Amino acid sequence: MSWCGQVLYSGTANGTVLRLEAPISFWGGISPENAEVVLENHPQRGVKITDKILIVPDPIGSSSSAAILLELLYARIAPKGLILGTNKDAILPISVLVAEQMGWNTIPVIAMENPTFKSGEELEIKTDGTIHCI
């Protein structure tokens, strides 16, 4: 099966899905030291987002979220790709753009109206926003 999302930042990625089951902001929700979900009472508290295709159906925007993702990219502990749901948070793609300008690794950022991917699935993201189960 394949789907097509809106490309917010182009790139390719293959990996295992981690779907966040509750809204989250990277600022205060994700540790920049170890990429762990640290938000109090979050269903995935204690889970690391490193090397995952991270599905965030309900991102909570915060300009500081870009700084956290940028720190994760710099430390090479960021997710492999990011698929955002209904709230197309423009802040997170900005951090990837800044990482590119700094010469650091980048990740694809895709927006989809209702991403239904589940944790544990294997996905491939293409530069045109096409997503395949692998």
Residue numbers annotated as active site: 62
HSE on the CB side for 28, CA within 13 Å? 11
Crossing angle of helices 91-102 and 63-74, rounded to 10°: 40
The residues pairing with 71 across neighbouring beta strands, listed in sequence order, are none
**Closest to 128 in 3D by CA, of 4, 2, 14, 1:** 4
The C-alpha atoms of residue 78 and residue 36 are separated, in whole angstroms, by 10
